[in-house]
Amino acid sequence: MKAGIRYLVPIAALLAIAALLGSGLTHDPRLVPSPLVGKAAPPIVLPEVADPARTFDSANLHGKVWVLNVWASWCVSCRQEHPVLMVLRDQANLPLYGLDYKDTRDAALQWLAAAGNPYLSSASDPKGTVGMNFGVYGVPETYVIDKLGVIRYKQIGPLTPQVVDHTILPLVARLSQ
């Protein structure tokens, strides 16, 4: 009798479902392709966190590839991300700038002093108006901006070493050529 074959049907079903689930893992259903990717970054003209008398103007960064990290002292996920940023500052030669989102200057300075400042400079956005132009969903978010001021990549949520190594650094290297 070939009855034995039918006992293998469940395994075939399992493999089919597993293949389907596996293919599902390669897509992110919540990935809202950011409408800003491929578009010019909104201008940032804000006081600097370190010295409010000075102005952070993104126009000065024209001609450079740079990375914008949206952060806040009250944000727990930013603390999770922070070591990655510190490594990035120390090891990779990457112009990393910050946007301090909906935060007070005192709290921000305190946090940077306590944990270390990974940014070349940070812009202070206490009301979140610039963040709104960037379509910030939440904190942290990270943007890679090219020489022409166009957003080339957007990371929602904390950066991980994998994202840095496999996506951000290669992208920055490519754009810098």
Partner 1 sequence: MIPELGHFCLIVALLVALVQAFYGLVGAQRGVAAWIGAVRAAARTQALFAILAFAALAFSFYRNDFSVLYVAQNSYSGMPWYYRIAAVWGDHEGSMLLWITTLGLWTLAVTFFSRRLPDEMVARVLGVLGLVSFGFLAFTLFTSDPFVRILPAPSEGNGLNSLLQDPGMASHPPMLYMGYVGFSVAYAFAMAALLAGRLDSAWARWTRPWTTAAWAFLTLGIVLGSWWAYTVLGWGGWWFWDPVENASFMPWLAGAALIHSLAVTEKRGAFRSWTALLAIITFSLSLIGTFLVRSGVLSSVHAFAVAPRRGIYILTFLVVVIGASLLLYAWRAPRVGMGGRFAVVSREAMLLVNNVVFITATGAVLLGTLYPLIMQALNLGKITVGAPYFNAVFAPVIAPVLFLIGVGPIARWKQETVLTLAQRLKWAALVAVIAGLLFPFAMGRWKPLVALGLIAAAWILASGWVNFRRRIALQGASGMGWRRFRVPRAYAGMLIAHAGVGIFVFGLTLVSAYSVEHDVKLAPGDTTMLAGYALRFEGTRPASGPDYTAQRGTIVVSRNGRAVTTLHPEKRVYIATGTPVTTAAISYGLRGDVYAALGDDVGNGAWTARLYHKPFVEWMWLGWVVMAIGGFIAISDKRYRIRVKAHVATALSPAPNPRPAPQPRAVGLHEGSAT
Partner 2 sequence: MNRFADHRPAAHRWNARRRRLVWILAVFGCFGVAVALIVNATRNNLVFFYSPTQVAERQAPYGRTFRIGGLVQMGSLHHEGDGVDIRFVVTDTAHSIPVVYHGVLPDMFEQGKGVVAQGRLGANGVFQADQVLAKHDADYMPPDAASALQAARATKSNAVARGGGG
| Positions that interact with partner 2 (CB under 8 A) | 30, 32, 35-36, 39, 72, 74-78, 101-104, 107, 128, 131-132, 135-140, 156-158
CA–CA distances in Å: residue 138 to residues 2, 72, 75, 85, 157: 59, 10, 9, 18, 8
Positions in 41-60 near partner 1 (CB under 8 A): none
Query: Of the two residues 36 and 171, which places its CB atom closer to partner 2 in the complex?
Result: 36
Exposure on the CB side of residue 21, measured as CA atoms within 13 A: 6
**Total residues at interface with partner 1 (CB under 8 A):** 28
Question: Around Cβ 55, how many Cβ atoms within 10 Å?
Answer: 13
Q: Which does 149 bind (CB under 5 to 8 A by kind): partner 2, partner 1, none?
A: none
Closer residue to partner 1 in complex, CB, 4/63: 4
**Minimum distance from residue 113 beta carbon to partner 1 (Å):** 10
22 binds partner 1 (CB under 8 A): yes
Contacts of residue 34, Cβ cutoff 8 Å, sequence gap at least 6: 135, 151, 154
Of 61 and 139, CB closest to partner 1? 139
Asked if residues 161 and 77 have their Cβ atoms less than 8 Å apart, the reply is: no
CB of 153 to partner 2, least distance (A): 17
Please report, as residue ranges, which positions from 89 to 148 form the binding site for partner 1 (by CB under 8 A): 114-115
Looking at the DSSP assignment, which residues form a beta bridge with residue 40? 150
Q: What is the DSSP letter of 143?
A: E
Buried b vs exposed e over 137-168: b needs ≥16 C-beta within 10 Å? eebbbbbbbbeebebbbbbbebbeeebbeeeb
The contact set with partner 1 (CB under 8 A) reads 3-4, 7-8, 10-11, 14-15, 17-18, 20-30, 74, 76-77, 79-80, 114-115
